[in-house]
A and B are shown apart, each in its own frame.
Chain A
Amino acid sequence: MALLEIRDVVKRFGDFTAVNHVSLSVEAGEFFTLLGPSGCGKTTLLRMLAGFEQPDSGEIILDGVNVANVPPEKRPVHTVFQNYALFPHMTVAQNIAFPLKMAGVPQSEIAGRVDELLEDVRLQEFAKRYPHELSGGQRQRVAIARALVNRPKLLLLDEPLSALDAKLREQMQIELITLQKEVGITFVYVTHDQGEALALSHRIAVMSRGQVEQLDAPEHIYSYPKSRFVADFIGQCNLLDATVLDVGTDRMTVEIAGVGQCHVLPVAGAAAGQKGCLTLRPEKIKLGATLPADDSDEVHFKGKVHDCLYLGDVTIYIVELDNGMLVETMLPNSAPGRAKFFDDNDLVELAWRYDAGHFILG
């Protein structure tokens, strides 16, 4: 049985339904992420897991016990808060010792456990410092150590890296993964940053308007988004409106509005005449001045470069097809002797295989 099971949970604030019939389960030892834009209900769901909000209906089963109405201080669940919420009048060591003292752990045991955690987050020499004497990244590590020290069954992390700069964030992501493997505690992580979610998680629940849109492993969420929302929210994606013309066994033919026909992988439940869209990631599209047309699995279109976004390692090209449609694609800047391959208004050719994209009905 799963460590955490959320069953049909609903939370309303007045007329607003923050969490709308959400059910999901988290396995022991998992790094689970709730991902979504602000207002999607992920933070409300997290606060219900911590105990700061009670669900209007539904059950939250933690290790076989329904904790939906258990107050926060009585749950074996600890939280790393977005602003860290370190106690300013306590040293690093006292902050970390706090949950142990509250739990009535004998004094003789506390020092050892605090030292252990200080070592885990590499802050041994900062034990006697006060929070205001630490950098942002160090405070973050104290907050994590404090939440982990009493070995909760579940560690909740509420956008813990959002206050850090990009470089430090990447370093902390690596530390978080390592730490989670080391301590083996189940993490439930809330973020609106899709890159962070993809990099850290074993599984991601993408939320929108109080509901789970898709729950899957990061690579599945990215490659096979179930809805336009997920495709659009996670990474960059071309959404090409299309109508199904013919459904075959290993591929189906669709008509992209104003562009032409192409083959795509069949999807369950598709029938001729249905509308939907083809999701195409920029990196899955081939781009060249001319492309050999020897592969019958590919479809080719001509166009010209409308805009370039030079990012250093790669350049994003916005290509305008002959009928005026804009398609986003990218190339690594591997052209020898040149900074990038194309400039604005260069004539180019696009191609993608039938299995490069993923068709979404509706």
Chain B
Amino acid sequence: MSKPVYGRVGRFAKWLISAPPLVYLLIFFALPALIMMFAAFRFPGDYGGLLPLTEVDPETGKQTVLITLDTWRDYLTFENFGRFFEDAIYLELFIKSFWYAGLTTLICLILAYPLSWLIARSNKKTRDLLVLLVILPFWSNFLIRVYAWMIILGPQSYFSRMLNGFLGWFGIEPVSLLFSQFAVIIGLVYVHLPFMVLPLYANLEKHDMSLLDAAQDLGANAWQRFWKVTWPLSLPGVWAGVALVFIPALGMFAIPDLLGGTNSMMIGNLIKQQFLDSRDWPFGSVLSIMLTLSVLLLAAVAAWAGSRHKKKD
């Protein structure tokens, strides 16, 4: 078969179109990631940052490279990784962050599924309006929305006073909603919910309704129609939503900062602390790398489990 004459031009055009985002990602994503990976093996500087690898003579302005084949041991180290594994507190923090992100993802899924179903099944006009309402919060600033939650959950809010009044009837001591794990989860769910709704809606909207008729006709009750037909067909949407919620939630630091108490710190907070407060860039880099690796590991396990499941059928 002869190749179409436009094949070469097409390939060139393809490169041309993808070049700008590619260059952008190389400079602002791949390169910083490499720099960070390198930083993880270096020593912290005396006043924060990194221990310099070069020295500038203040009088001559001449720059000398300090790191050589003989001295590299003074500049590169595995110590930062060692520190991560030596103290159980870091691993615990990782596990807690995974738990927060996982719980957030689960709650988002449970809340978003019926909502997405409802949106997908309503008529065109209502559907557009509901989708607009879902993305409406994006029109206001993220921090302002989290601050709003501080007010809602704060001890003086109507909500807190009503809740505590209600608990009082049963003789339960007043609870503080703000600065707790509860507040962090509420914040995480609130911020990420649209990222679960949108891919689920996009998936459910495409479902062929005659399949549900067929299932019912063949003897499936409402639960079986959901579990045997709708759910398995919506899995691509579910996975997309899970990824869009779980990964950002795992790295979140603003919400635990604002809504969380002393015991609801997440990895994001620790990384931020290392870079901005302690100014220990090497250890901050180690934490970032471990976070990325653990997410990749999780994705690999999920993909492996998925392929195994398929083979079993």
Contact = CB atoms under 8 A, between A and B. Distances in A.
B219 A103 contact: yes
B263 interface: no
B213 A85 contact: yes
B213 A73 contact: no
B313 A72 contact: no
A81 interface: yes
B210 interface: yes
B220 A73 contact: yes
Contact of B228 (A77, A83, A98, A150): A98
Contacts of B313: 91, 94
A78 B313 CA distance: 26
A158 to B, nearest CB: 10
Given A91-B313, A98-B228, A102-B224, A85 B219 contact: no
A88 interface: yes
A38 B141 CA distance: 55
A141 interface: no
A281 interface: no
A82 to B, nearest CB: 8
Given A73-B221, A88-B233, A81 B214 contact: yes
B213 to A, nearest CB: 6
Contacts of A50: 217
Interface in A70-95: 71-74, 77-79, 81, 83, 85-89, 91, 94
A306 B215 CA distance: 55
A50 B213 CA distance: 10
Contacts of B208: 83, 85
Interface in A53-77: 71-74, 77
A102 B217 contact: no
Interface string B229-254: 10011000000000000000000000
Contact of B218 (A88, A91, A99): A99
A52 interface: yes
Given A88-B233, A89-B233, A98-B228, A73 B216 contact: yes
Contact of A150 (B210, B211, B219): B219
B210 A146 contact: no
A103 B220 CA distance: 8
Nearest to B218: A99
A150 B220 CA distance: 13
Contacts of B213: 52, 72, 81, 85
A73 B219 contact: yes
Contacts of B215: 87, 98, 102
Interface of B: 208, 210-211, 213-221, 224, 228-229, 232-233, 313
Given A81-B217, A102-B218, 4 more contacts: A72-B213, A87-B215, A89-B233, A98-B215
